[in-house]
Amino acid sequence: MRAADLYRLRRIVDGGHGARIVVDGRACLNFCANDYLGLAGDPRLAAAARGALEQGTGSGAAALVSGYNREHAALEEELADFLRRPRALLFSSGWAANLGVLRALLGREDLLIADELNHASLIDGGRLSGARYVRAAHAQVADFARALEAAPADAGCLRLIATDSVFSMDGDLAPLPALSGLAARHGAALMVDDAHGFGVLGAGGRGALEACGAEADILMTGFGKALGTAGAAIVGSETLIEYLIQRARTWVFSTAPPPALAAATRAALALVRADEGAERRARLRGLIARFRAGAAQLGLPLSDSETAIQPLVLGEAARALAVSRALYERGYWVAAIRPPTVPAGTSRLRITLSAGHAEAEVDGLLAALAAALASP
């Protein structure tokens, strides 16, 4: 792994994790986090968490035992109301949510059709479910359709389409309206992982489904990106949520998240819903446009993405590491993404923008990128 430039190291961050961080002792502008709205370091979230901490730290048990706090219940109710769905169920992470849903709903007689570039949690959940697993070519609706047509509906069997909404390494969007229509026509269900769309996309920040006017049977929303906290929720029908309460092993057998974390997430959700959330989304859109326009002027070969994720594919791992190091020396933190996270030969800088960045900081990154790429 070392010889192939694929060995991974952790970097120590001192203090907060916002647009400006200290990495291994060096002050940097952070252009690789998922803090899209700049809420991870917002003092109002910390204040909400501190208020709940007055009552204690951990939840002490799984939700079905004694760990289900009033803060958890309130967050679930507020999420369901915001997303205009009947119910929501909190999970400790997006990974736990995806794994729990797929293992609970699918069995050997069922069919899962999944985009080949889905997040690892959807891949692992699908494999562990025991269902027949079909990988569809990335964002190719015809490939999903062929898989459905090759497996006619059987009584009592579930056919489920699963996809990310925003693909985390490329920043592109799934064809959700087409997939939603396809599922409806074939009597299949659609599950959407909206971790990178929730809070950011759509006029009200409700995510990718709102942005494109599509529907899904199962929606996963993550809190560790735009909301600046941690955890996730599955949102859907009354029957879905009640079933998961009975059968989702990653929920049933996990200690409930700390109430203070739910309190901080409630504060973040309130900001997303308010005028301030709309202002932050507008600011982010402006920075994305500014970055892409500047990159075009400099001839930087960005991937085709209109989201806050702006990948710069460099090819070999050594090249990506070298450019990342050059940026670090100039005060910009952009981690290199290498296989197996991305396919061989597509190592990249996964540049991400935040409403917490200033225009001058984006311009500075562009200049630093141009200088780093010009280096031998």
Residue 168 labeled ligand binder = yes
Has 196 been annotated as catalytic?
yes
Over residues 306-347, the pLDDT tens digits come to: 999 999 999 999 999 999 999 999 999 999 999 999 999 999
Options 92, 93, 165, 225, the catalytic residue? 225
Contact 300, 375 (CB under 8 A): no
357 is known to lie in a ligand binding site: no
pLDDT of residue 310: 98
Residue pLDDT, tens place only, 161-171: 999 999 999 99
Any residues with CB less than 8 A from the CB of 60 and at least 6 apart, and which?
66, 67, 255
189 and 197 Cβ atoms separated by less than 8 Å? no
Q: What would the pLDDT profile of 25-81 be if each residue is shown by its tens digit?
A: 999 999 999 999 999 999 999 999 999 999 999 999 999 999 999 999 999 999 999
The one catalytic residue in 93, 129, 168, 180 is 168
**186 labeled binding residue:** no
In this model, does residue 155 exceed pLDDT 80? no
Q: What angle do CA 236, 124, 90 make, to 5 degrees?
A: 35
Position 151 pLDDT exceeds 90: no
User: Which of 121, 196, 305, 354 is the catalytic position?
Assistant: 196
Residues 6+ apart with CB under 8 A from 299: none
Ordered by where they begin, the domains of the chain are 13-41+276-374 (3.90.1150.10), 59-257 (3.40.640.10)
pLDDT at 152: 77
- Report whether pLDDT(267) > 80: yes
Q: What's the mean per-residue pLDDT of the chain? A: 96
Q: How far apart are CA 187 and CA 174, in angstroms?
A: 20
Q: Is 168 among the residues known to form the active site?
A: yes
In this predicted structure, the answer to whether residue 182 has a pLDDT above a threshold of 80 is: yes
In percent, how much of the chain has pLDDT > 70?
100
Verify whether residue 186 is a known catalytic residue: no
Omega prior to 257 cis, within 30 of 0: no
3-state secondary structure the chain: CCCCCCCCCCCCEECCCCCEEEECCEEEEECCCCCCCCCCCCHHHHHHHHHHHCCCCCCCCEHHHHHCCHHHHHHHHHHHHHHCCCEEEEECCHHHHHHHHHHHHCCCCCEEEEECCCCHHHHHHHHHHCCEEEEECCCCHHHHHHHHHCCCCCCCCCEEEEEECECCCCCCECCHHHHHHHHHHHCCEEEEECCCCCCCCCCCCCCHHHHHCCCCCEEEEECCCCCCCCCEEEEECHHHHHHHHHHCHHHHCCECCCHHHHHHHHHHHHHHHCHHHHHHHHHHHHHHHHHHHHHHHHCCCECCCCCCEEEEEEECHHHHHHHHHHHHHCCEECCEECCCCCCCCCEEEEEECCCCCCHHHHHHHHHHHHHHHHCC
**Any binding-site annotation on 196?**
yes
Q: Which residues of 277-299 are buried (b: 16+ CB within 10 A; e: fewer)?
A: beebbebbbebbebbbebbeeee
pLDDT at 291: 98
pLDDT digits (tens, 9 = 90+) for 94-145: 999 999 999 999 999 999 999 999 999 999 999 999 999 999 999 999 999 9
Q: Does residue 376 register a pLDDT over 70?
A: no
Task: Write down the pLDDT at residue 153.
Answer: 79
pTM for the whole structure = 0.96
